Copies of this chain bind each other. A is one copy, B any other.
Amino acid sequence: MIKAGIVGGTGYTGVELLRLLAQHPDVKLQAITSRSEAGMPVAQLFPSLRGHVDLAFSEPSLETLGACDVVFFATPHGVAMKQAPELLARGVKIIDLGADFRLKDLATFEKWYGMPHTCPDILAESVYGLPEVNRDAIRAARIVGNPGCYPTAVQLGFMPLLKAGLIDASRLVADAKSGVSGAGRKAEVHALFAEAGESFKAYGVNGHRHLPEISQGLAGMSSETVGLTFVPHLLPMIRGIHATLYGTLVKDAGDLQALFESAYANEPFVDVMPPGSTPETRSVKGANTCRIAVYRPQGGDTVVVLSVIDNLVKGAAGQAIQNMNLMCDLPETAGLTQIALLP
Contacts from A to B (Cβ < 8 Å) = 12, 15, 19, 22-23, 46-52, 171, 173, 175, 177, 179-181, 183, 185-189, 191-203, 205-207, 227, 229-231, 233, 235-240, 242, 244, 246, 248, 271, 273, 276-287, 289, 291, 295, 297-298, 300, 302, 304, 306, 308, 337-343
Contacts of A187 in B (CB 8 A): 187-189, 192
Closest 6 CB pairs of A and B: A199-B282, A48-B340, A48-B342, A180-B193, A175-B175, A194-B343
Is there contact, CB below 8 Å, between A343 and B236? no
Is there contact, CB below 8 Å, between B197 and A238? yes
Is there contact, CB below 8 Å, between A202 and B273? no
11 new A-B contacts at CB < 8 Å, known A177-B200, A185-B189, A231-B297? A48-B282, A173-B173, A185-B195, A191-B192, A192-B192, A194-B238, A197-B198, A198-B240, A199-B240, A201-B281, A229-B300
- Looking across the interface, which residue of chain B has its beta carbon closest to that of A284? B48
Contacts of A173 in B (CB 8 A): 173, 246, 302
If A197-B237, A207-B298, A286-B341 touch, whether A47 touches B291 (CB-CB below 8 Å) is: yes
A177→B199 CA distance, assembly (Å): 11
Contacts of A308 in B (CB 8 A): 200-201
Minimum Cβ distance to chain B for residue A146 (Å): 19
A287→B23 CA distance, assembly (Å): 13
A276→B271 CA distance, assembly (Å): 37
Give which listed residue, B12, B47, B278, B297, contacts A279 with CB less than 8 A: B47
Minimum Cβ distance to chain B for residue A291 (Å): 7
A281→B287 CA distance, assembly (Å): 20
Contacts of A244 in B (CB 8 A): 175, 202, 231, 233
Is there contact, CB below 8 Å, between A203 and B246? no
Is there contact, CB below 8 Å, between A343 and B206? no
Contacts of A300 in B (CB 8 A): 227, 229
A49→B196 CA distance, assembly (Å): 18
A239→B227 CA distance, assembly (Å): 34
A47→B236 CA distance, assembly (Å): 18
Is there contact, CB below 8 Å, between A297 and B341? no
Minimum Cβ distance to chain B for residue A40 (Å): 13
Give which listed residue, B48, B194, B273, contacts A185 with CB less than 8 A: B194
